[in-house]
Amino acid sequence: MRGVFVTGTDTGVGKTVAACALVHALRGLGVRVAPMKPVAAGADHAAGRFANADSLALIAAAGWEADTLDDVTPVLLREPMAPHIAARREGVEIERAPIFEAFSRLARRGDFAVVEGVGGFLVPLGPGFDASDLARELGLPVVLVVGLRLGCLNHALLTARAIHASGLPFAGWIANAIDPAMAAAGENLDTLRERLEAPLLGQLPYVATPDPHRLASHLDVSTLVPMNVVSR
């Protein structure tokens, strides 16, 4: 299955909102999108069971039912913290096999995967295993969500280096305005345009209560999708 792995410059940069907007934008082209958040840390009781809010948002964006949760998020940890720490506290280990088995099942439901990572690109998942390893083993190009706030230049450029070091294609980046009071936001955006060696897929404006369906209109996803998966 073709797709992208969505990562962020840090936690709290609007990665889920951007991933859901990507799903809506792709569906607008007629693409059958399979959403996935393989590892989620933080669960509340919803839909009659424990679930992660980001996972539910991705499922809703794709127009799927909540009964797909086990495949969308095969590794669900209760506490909202670094996943390897949450796993250790629960006495479990984040294993690769359930993730890849779920990914294979999702491939039967869609043509293009939008896989949202957890935290940043190098967040640990277990001994000798981090989010970049997961992206590499899934074999997906990377889309980087840059939260526009003080410090984003360094975070974005360091993450871009990590993406290049992984050997994965850097498919594009999304600028997400998360701080309406950010000083010199335009100049920061210009600097990122000059230095990030990937296309800018769009700029998401600041919205107090973001609606991914509306935000999808700010994205150009045409470079992400081969023509043979459009409007099937």
Q: What amino acid positions are annotated as catalytic residues?
A: 37
Looking at the DSSP assignment, which residues form a beta bridge with residue 159?
none
Distance CA 221, CA 202 (A): 9
**How far apart (Å, rounded) are the C-alpha atoms in residues 203 and 215?**
9
Nearest-angstrom CA–CA distance, 98 and 100: 6
Q: Which residues contact 162 (CB under 8 A, 6 or more apart)?
A: 121, 122, 132
Dihedral sign computed on CA atoms, order 67, 140, 137, 14: negative
Amino acid identity for residue 201 in this structure: L
| Alpha-carbon separation of residue 100 from 96, 145, 162, 186 (angstroms) | 6, 24, 23, 40
Whether residue 149 contacts residue 185, with contact meaning beta carbons closer than 8 Å, is answered with: no
Record the tokens describing residue 138, joined without a space.
Answer: 């899934």
